[in-house]
Amino acid sequence: MPNTFGHLFRVTTFGESHGAGIGVIIDGCPPRIPISIEAIQFDLDRRRPGQSKIVTQRKEADQAEILSGMHEGMTTGAPIEILVRNHDARSSDYQEMQALYRPSHADYTYDAKYGIRSVQGGGRSSARETIGRVAAGAVAKQVLAHFYPELEVIAYCDQIYNRRSEVDPNVVQFSEVESNIVRWPKASEADELIKLIETVRSEGDSVGGIVGCVVRGVPAGWGEPVFDRLEADLAKAMMSLPATKGFEIGSGFGSVKMRGSEHNDPFYQSASGKIRTRTNHSGGVQGGISNGENLLMRIAFKPTATIAQGQETVSKSGESAEIKARGRHDACVLPRAVPMVEAMARLVLVDHFLRQRAIDWK
């Protein structure tokens, strides 16, 4: 339902950007899993505003408090509520929004849907809503690690504006991505990207890009053959993040220019006896189910809607007006989107892991 994601590992988020707080209930987490709050805080810090000079300067500690579901550092099987209080909410920045619809924001559509709107900070459409997702994703990470220590999910900026990383997702390293504030997988190039973003911001403008995401160590057999295909659930997960416009898995849109004879992934048996594919155009899924190869995804993010330039718009009553954003914002959302993408990938994976566990035949 609207604010719930997942079927067995079920996450429900709440909270507005400028309300009392933001958070999440995780229901269905298996018991007896050790959970470190530091690990949750680590991912929240990666997503946090003000973490570097290239992201929004809103000052929020984003300190997580676990209100329930834990006993002496372990999950109990009870719902886990994680709460982050808001502190630096500046409603005054958002006065104008009450009257004018910000282009490519959700102001107008909220009014159409609900007939009412928390004018401050975009309500549920704010990137702050993703705090709950990232916190839940950090729990999912620890659950997955408990059962599959080899499984790793790494997201990174694969393209910003017209600059592509051309990194090989199969070898990208978390430490290299995290070594630079732009989360560029080739650290030596990071300064160029930082400069690009700063230039765009100085022009009162914004840019988007593509987040790449690789999952290594997924066992074969997760997913479903029809509606809940692994790639379908991943697509939904990613397209539910703010500012996303596209999703692809494996060869993605590039598959279109290939012939079947090129695109098909031949099977072979590895030295260790495992059945593998020589290529991975499938992106780790076949018929909606993981085949044990790396999951490879790419997610397109549009340029941030909030820009400092004047733009044409209308008021609630339909009168023409010009609007210029004054709220703090990111000129490029990509670096902060990286932990969000990882979190969503993990929420999909842990859910399908539990689903498979329920019907496991081995």
**What is the chain's alpha carbon radius of gyration, rounded to the nearest angstrom?**
21
Tell the burial category of 3 from Cβ atoms under 10 Å away from its Cβ (0-12, 13-18, 19+). Answer: middle
Of 96 and 174, which CB lies nearer to a copy of itself in the complex structure?
96
> With respect to a copy of itself, which residue has the nearer C-beta, 98 or 170?
98
Tell whether residue 32 is a contact of a copy of itself (CB under 8 A).
yes
Interface with a copy of itself includes 218 (CB under 8 A)? no
Q: Write down the residue that tokens 């989360």 correspond to.
A: 183
Distance from C-alpha of 76 to C-alpha of 78, rounded to nearest angstrom: 5
Give the nearest distance from C-beta 55 to a copy of itself in angstroms.
Answer: 15
Is residue 250 within the footprint of a copy of itself (CB under 8 A)? yes
Could you give the CA distance from residue 242 to residue 132 in angstroms, rounded to a whole number?
14
By the rule CB under 8 A, 95 interacts with a copy of itself: no
Q: Confirm or reject binding of residue 28 to a copy of itself (CB under 8 A).
A: yes
What residues from 295 to 334 belong to the interface with a copy of itself (CB under 8 A)? 300-307, 309, 311-314, 318-320
Looking at residues 34 to 63 of the shown chain, list those that interact with a copy of itself (rule: CB under 8 A): none
156-215 residues near a copy of itself, rule: CB under 8 A: 159, 161-162, 200, 204-210
Q: Which stretch binds a copy of itself (CB under 8 A): 41-49, 106-114, 174-182, 189-197?
A: 106-114
CB of 175 to a copy of itself, least distance (A): 26
* Identified binder of a copy of itself from the candidate list 37, 39, 61, 78, rule CB under 8 A: 78
Residue 272 interacts with a copy of itself (CB under 8 A): yes or no: no
**Residues forming beta bridges with residue 244, ordered by sequence position:** 301
Residues in the chain: 362
**Contact between 182 and 194 (Cβ < 8 Å):** yes
Which long-range contacts link 102-110 to residues 24+ away (Cβ below 8 Å)? 102/305, 102/306, 102/313, 102/323, 102/325, 103/305, 103/311, 103/312, 103/313, 103/323, 104/302, 104/305, 105/305, 105/306
Nearer to a copy of itself, 150 or 179 (CB): 150
Q: Which of 193, 233, 341, 343 binds a copy of itself (CB under 8 A)?
A: 233
93 binds a copy of itself (CB under 8 A): no
Distance of CA 59 to the CA centre of its chain: 21
Inter-axis angle of helices 230-239 and 334-359, nearest 10: 150
Nearer to a copy of itself, 138 or 237 (CB): 237
CB 182, CB 156: distance < 8 Å: no
- Contact pick of 67, 150, 199, 324 for a copy of itself (by CB under 8 A): 67
Binding track over 110-149 against a copy of itself, x by CB under 8 A: x-xxxxxxxx--xxxx---x--------------------
259 binds a copy of itself (CB under 8 A): yes
**Contact between residue 131 and residue 138 where contact means Cβ atoms under 8 Å apart:** no
Site membership for a copy of itself, residue 335 (CB under 8 A): no
Nearer to a copy of itself, 51 or 313 (CB): 313
- Binding of residue 294 to a copy of itself (CB under 8 A): no
Is residue 257 helix, strand or coil? helix
Beta bridge partners of 25: 12, 81
| Binder among 35, 40, 64, 83 for a copy of itself (CB under 8 A) | 83
Contact by Cβ (8 Å): 291, 283: no
Assess 21 for contact with a copy of itself (CB under 8 A).
yes
